[in-house]
Every structure is written in structure tokens, then in C-alpha cells.
Structure 1
Amino acid sequence: MGRTLGKTVVMVGMMGAGKTAVGKALAHRLGVPFRDCDAEIEAAANRTVAEIFARDGEPFFREKESRVLERLLQDAPGVLSTGGGVFLSARNRALIAAQGVSVWLRADRALLWQRVRNKDTRPLLRTADPRATLDDLCARREPEYAKADVVVDSAADRSIEEMAARVEAALLDRPDLWEDPE
């Protein structure tokens, strides 16, 4: 490509959209580090996200999440996968805008449900009607995700590698993201 990443690409969107899988593939394509906000939180707390939610509650988790995001954005440019709630905070959106480029992996609700329905690692879906909860979360979160710098539609019939290529192609139109080699 002849250019290097000058800012971190921050993957945002709903649980099940493919932020981590596509983010890893994108980082590989770009030859940059991949980091996962939730994995960093879990490593620091020595607990899973679900355990943190259960023990300390969502507000506590969101504060830790913001701190980890801020720290990770100070690292060398790379690809960063975030939890579904990161982009809901105005503070977090401002941090990302100042030091990165946000990419919303937009997926329809049927695809999201297909991907998360059998996973017990999603604390927000531990309700009497997880499908209705997912629909409600989408309805509340999508207006915030729509504020992302770049939007790439996720599709069930596309491989992870194809999705990473679609994100890369969308990012090529962002001159503020790239540094030309000297």
C-alpha cells in the first residue's frame, strides 16, 4: 500500500457484529498490532467481563472500560476492538475522535441474534427474553453508533477476510488516517 497507519482504527458496534474477528484480520492485513479492550479489562481484573458485571455492576465496568480505552489509544497505531457499550459514552467518542478513526460494523438484528443467542458470555442478555433485550439494545445504541467515522455493513455470507477487506477499502478514503512514508 505504501502508507502506514497514523491513527488507531477503533472497531465499534453491537455484540456479535464481528469487531474482534474482523479487527484481527484487518490488523493482519495492515501489518499493525491488534488489541481488544475487553481482553485487556479481563486481564487487568483477572475476571471475565460477565464476572465483573455480576460482582461490581455495569457502572463500575464502564468506568474501567473508559480508562482502558484511554490507555490503549495512547499505544502505537493499530486496530482496537471495543465492547458494544464503549461508543455510547460521549467521553469515549471524544477520545476515539481525537486519537483514532471509528468504524461501525453494522449488522442487522437477525444476524446479531444468530451469532449471540447460544453464548452465555453476554451479561446484558441474561434476561427473561434475551431476543427482546437485544432488539432494545440495538434500538438504543444504533443512533450512537451512527456517529462513527466509517460505517461498514456486516453480511452473513461474507468471510471474516472479506469483511476485513471491505473495512480496509473504506479506510483508504480517510486521508487523516494514513501517514505517507518519508
Structure 2
Amino acid sequence: MMQQLVLIGFMGAGKTTLSQALGAATGWPVYDTDDLVVTAAHRSINTIFAQEGETGFRHREHAALETALTHTPGIIATGGGIITQAANRALLAALDIPVVLLTVTPAEINRRLAGTTDRPLFKKDWPDLLQDRQPWYEASANCILPTTGRQVADLVNELQHLLVEEGAAND
């Protein structure tokens, strides 16, 4: 069985929810890059964006990804914009572990993120942001898992099967 898994995808795709559920199912620790950034900076993401801009946040996010990848076993949930940095895309694409792109429909993103205030880049033009990022998501992942209309338990089961299959393939 593989000992690590990375979840990538747009805001609202289910990275945090699924990482927590998969962590509970496997007993593995979960490393959320957004949480690692907040902990290291001792500030919220909104505050980091306000004080350092997106560039400062992305620099911190890259360091968080590198840190998360040192932990085995581990489930890594990334921020939606992790793939905007070429260094992160290269790092993810080179991994010999499942890098799972969680996909979600635009209508479901709207439903899941209605009323959100803690996502600095979730604005009215987010569909353009999703479209711009899509090629990077696809280039960084080695597996795609649609989440719209699916139960968390079913998705966790699918991820667990992926870990077993990938582990067998790499033995």
C-alpha cells in the first residue's frame, strides 16, 4: 500500500473534507498546506494576502508543500492555487504517489462556497480562474476523481482502493 496521497483541485472540490475523512479511515495524519501556512505564519490566510500579497502567500505555500511531503504516512490536502507555481507543478508531477485531482461542477462550487469569507480569491470571476487553472491541475495529477453528487464515504472508499492499487503497482 502506498504511504502518501496528495489531493489537488479548485476551491470547493472537497480536498479538506476528503482528506479528513480518509485520515480517519486510514489512521494516517492529514497535512493541509493552508493550515501549515497559517501555523507557520501565525496569521490567517486573509491577513497574509493583505500584508504580503498573493506572491508572499504562494512562497509560504510552496514551503508548506515541501514540508508536508516529508511526512510518511500522510494525506496531503493542498490549497486550490498550489498549481499556479511552476515549482509546485513540477514537484507534484514528479511524485511516485497518487496525486488526485478532485473535480467539481461550477454549480456545486457555488453551492459549497455560498457565503464564504475566508477565501481571498473566491470572487465573482472565479469561473475564469478555474478555467485558467484547469490545464495545470490536469498536468499535475496522475488520477482524476469527480466529487459532484457523490457521498464522502464512497469517495473515501475509492481513494483507499487507489492506495492499494498504487502500492501493488509499485512493489
TM-score (structure 1 length as normaliser)? 0.84
Q: Paired residue for 2:102?
A: 105
CA RMSD of aligned residues (A): 1.9
User: Which deviates the most, 99-108 or 165-174?
Assistant: 165-174
Over 3 Å counting, the alpha-carbon distance change for 1:162 and 1:176 in structure 2 is same
Superposed counterparts of 1:51-70, under 5 Å: 51-70=47-66
Please, which runs of 5 or more residues in structure 1 have no aligned partner? none
Q: Aligned to 1:84, what secondary structure does the other structure show?
A: coil
Which of residues 137, 153, 165 is equivalent to 1:173?
A: 165
Match of 1:20 in 2: 16
Shift of 1:115: 0.9
Pairs aligned (count): 169
- Are 2:87 and 1:91 aligned? yes
- Residue in 1 that maps onto 2:132: 140
Instruction: Return the offset for 1:99.
Output: 5.8
- Contact 1:20 1:81 survives alignment (8 Å): yes
Q: How far off its partner does 1:16 sit?
A: 0.6
List runs of 5+ in structure 2 lacking aligned partners.
none
Alpha-carbon offset, residue 101 of structure 1: 2.6
Query: Retained in 2: the 8 A contact 1:15–1:84?
Result: yes
The offset of 1:172, in angstroms, is 3.6
Q: Which residue of 2 aligns with 1:76?
A: 72
- The 5 A counterparts of 1:106-121 are 106-121=103-118
TM-score in terms of structure 2 length: 0.89
User: For 1:88 and 1:21, how far apart are their aligned partners in 2?
Assistant: 22
Structure 1 runs, 4 residues or longer, greater than 3 Å off: 170-173, 175-179
Distance 1:66 1:100, change over 3 A: farther
Conservation of the 8 A alpha-carbon contact between 1:113 and 1:134: no
Report sequence identity in percent.
33
The AA in structure 1 aligned to 2:155 is M
